[in-house]
Amino acid sequence: MLQFDTLIIGSGLAGLSLALKLANDQKVAVITKKSLLEGASAWAQGGIAAVLSPEDSFDKHIQDTQIAGAGLCDPQTTRFVVEHGAAAIEWLIRQGVPFSRDSNSEYGYHLTREGGHSHRRIIHAADATGQVVQETIANKVIAHPNITLLEHYIAIDLITGQKLQRSDNNCYGAYALNSLSDEIITIAARNTILATGGAGKVYLYTTNPDTATGDGIAMGWRAGCRVANMEFIQFHPTCLYHPHEKSFLISEAVRGEGGILKLPDGTRFMPWHDERAELAPRDVVARAIDFEMKKRGLDCVYLDISHQPVEFLLEHFPNIYRRCMDLGINIARQPIPVVPAVHFTCGGLLVDQQGRTDISNLYAIGETSYTGLHGANRLASNSLLECLVYADSAAQDILSKPRGSIISLPHWDESKVTDADEAVVISHNWDELRRFMWDYVGIVRTTKRLERAQHRILLLHEEINEYYSNFHVSADLLELRNLVLTADLIVQSALSRHESRGLHFSKDYPDTLPLAKSTILSPANFKR
């Protein structure tokens, strides 16, 4: 049994930032399913939203966030995150993150603008902000003597008082599978943090990496945590459409710097759908693209930034320029073919301002959590900001607590299982799940489509639970188990919302109700 003061499950910006903030005072373990940088944070292109310019204000950033969130953003949470934004950026700068400079800016750094923002407030490192930030923080984490990194480990389940048949409501650690050796280890910790990212891989087309399988949300739910607003799945409007690129994102900042969305004949269409045109929030733009594609039978639409000079494109979008050029698309001369794709899980485990869940000593931060910041639709570049602010507040809470004792935990019991005889069941169920979620629980929904998805999820639940009970676990099985549960929570939440709001658009309930309410599901009341 391994023992640590704090166990962090996930190695995105939220998890690694928290590890650094704790490590001077605690022994910390970070487990990650693959290598340290294989997560969604490193894929973030646009940047981090924060009030950094004297022309901007907290109230303006709060207002933009609330408008994008369609009335569901928690006012206290939104103000808390926005007011701590500048401090979070200054912390990154002190860690050595080389954000793009601008000698003409009073702040000294280049600030760009993205959809839904009324001001330039996105600090970035060219068009690879996530990768640059993650590499900087990861190097600090690797070098810290109090941080133990366990790569290629996937958490199986949390170890709680209920699981141990104790009378308390505490989390004591987790079981984890080494996906390279198939060894299962027991990790005991005074505090456990779920920072595993979102659940984009529950859909067929997504900008997310393969690691985004809803693990933290599913583990937290099984342990007894409530979830909130799982129906709000953000589709990024502009994912590159190309047979050799399944998930390459074309940054929101391309539209922020003047990119125009066009039909194949060159006609601009966004002004027909919203007066903000290309700078409307993501849900509006994604629905507009989806409408035009279905109406005209198109495979894609086009994003045109070719009116900008090559020098501008190389300075602001070097990675996008190079990747497109490798595929034969010269963005300085021709438009980029794009389609919407699943990008962000706005709902998650319900937490308070310190990232605490319903289980004592269990926290959730980043995309795994629901803080109330994103409401019914996330404003561009607020996600990395949320990671940083809540990593800090969770760290402060953990460090303020007296250190509890670490109890002896039982080893993982494999005495009643055997080797799997038909692993093909996993790949078939994985493919079926992602396809019907894309077809039935996508950008535009109906009650009939949701009920079809729900019926298929019930069948998959039965098959997977039987498989899980009888055979040795594998990484693929664990991910599928978590994906099906997360899909179930998405569909249940969507069925319970009888209106259209933000990212949830229902043909059966096209109007928005006058009172905005969050969808909160509790394991204690779940029908399964």
Q: Is residue 419 assigned to a domain?
A: no
With a cut of 90, say whether residue 58 has pLDDT above it. yes
- 393 and 303 share one domain: no
Q: Is residue 407 assigned to a domain?
A: no
Mean pLDDT of 339-352: 95
- Name residue 462's amino acid: E
**pLDDT for residue 215:** 97
**pLDDT for residue 374:** 96
CATH number at residue 34: 3.50.50.60
Q: Is residue 412 assigned to a domain?
A: no
Mean pLDDT of 188-199: 97
Burial of 286 (0-12, 13-18, 19+ CB in 10 A): buried
The beta strands (E) that lie in 54-183 are given as 111-112, 122-123, 147-151, 153-160, 171-178
Mean pLDDT of 390-408: 94
Mean pLDDT of 285-296: 90
- The answer to whether residues 164 and 172 touch, using CB atoms and an 8 Å cutoff, is yes
Q: Which residues of 41-61 are buried (b: 16+ CB within 10 A; e: fewer)?
A: bbbbbbbbbbbbbeebeeebb
CATH number at residue 301: 3.90.700.10
Determine the structural domain holding residue 268 and report its residue range.
236-342
Mean pLDDT of 431-438: 92
Q: Is residue 329 assigned to a domain?
A: yes
DSSP H helical segments within 96-192, as ranges?
129-143
- The answer to whether residues 269 and 367 touch, using CB atoms and an 8 Å cutoff, is no
Query: H or E segment at 28?
Result: strand 28-32
* 119-153 residue pLDDT tens: 999 999 987 888 899 999 999 999 999 999 999 99
Of the residues 113, 190, 282, 434, only one is catalytic, namely 282
Average pLDDT value over all residues in the chain: 92
Q: Is residue 413 assigned to a domain?
A: no
Q: Is residue 518 assigned to a domain?
A: yes
**pLDDT for residue 527:** 62
Q: Is residue 319 assigned to a domain?
A: yes
Rounded Cα distance, 127 and 100, in Å: 10
- 329 and 353 share one domain: no
- End position of a domain, from candidates 342, 366, 384: 342
* 371-384 residue pLDDT tens: 999 999 999 899 99
CATH number at residue 442: 1.20.58.100
- For the chain, first and last CA: distance in Å? 33
- 218 and 292 share one domain: no
Higher-scoring residue by pLDDT: 105, 192: 192
CA 135 to chain CA mean position, Å: 19
Rounded Cα distance, 320 and 336, in Å: 10
Higher-scoring residue by pLDDT: 364, 248: 364
- 188 and 258 share one domain: no
* 454-492 residue pLDDT tens: 999 999 999 898 888 888 899 999 999 999 999 999 999
With a cut of 80, say whether residue 528 has pLDDT above it. no
Band of pLDDT at residue 422, cut at 50, 70 and 90: low
- 165 and 116 share one domain: yes
Residue 403 annotated among the catalytic residues of the structure: no
**pLDDT for residue 525:** 83
- 133 and 282 share one domain: no
Report the number of distinct structural domains present in the chain. Answer: 3
Q: Is residue 410 assigned to a domain?
A: no
Mean pLDDT of 26-36: 93
- 130 and 22 share one domain: yes
- 140 and 268 share one domain: no
- 30 and 126 share one domain: yes
Count CB neighbours of 473 within 10 A: 21
Contacts of 448 (CB under 8 A, 6+ apart): none
Per-residue DSSP letter, 163: T
- 133 and 224 share one domain: yes
Mean pLDDT of 186-210: 93
- Name residue 324's amino acid: C
* 99-114 residue pLDDT tens: 999 878 778 899 988 8
* 226-256 residue pLDDT tens: 999 999 999 888 999 988 877 788 988 899 8
Band of pLDDT at residue 335, cut at 50, 70 and 90: very high
With a cut of 70, say whether residue 43 has pLDDT above it. no
Burial of 491 (0-12, 13-18, 19+ CB in 10 A): buried
- 178 and 300 share one domain: no
pLDDT cut 70: percent of the chain above it? 98
Q: How do beta strands 122-123 and 147-151 pair?
A: unpaired
- 293 and 383 share one domain: no
- End position of a domain, from candidates 362, 385, 400: 400
Burial of 452 (0-12, 13-18, 19+ CB in 10 A): middle
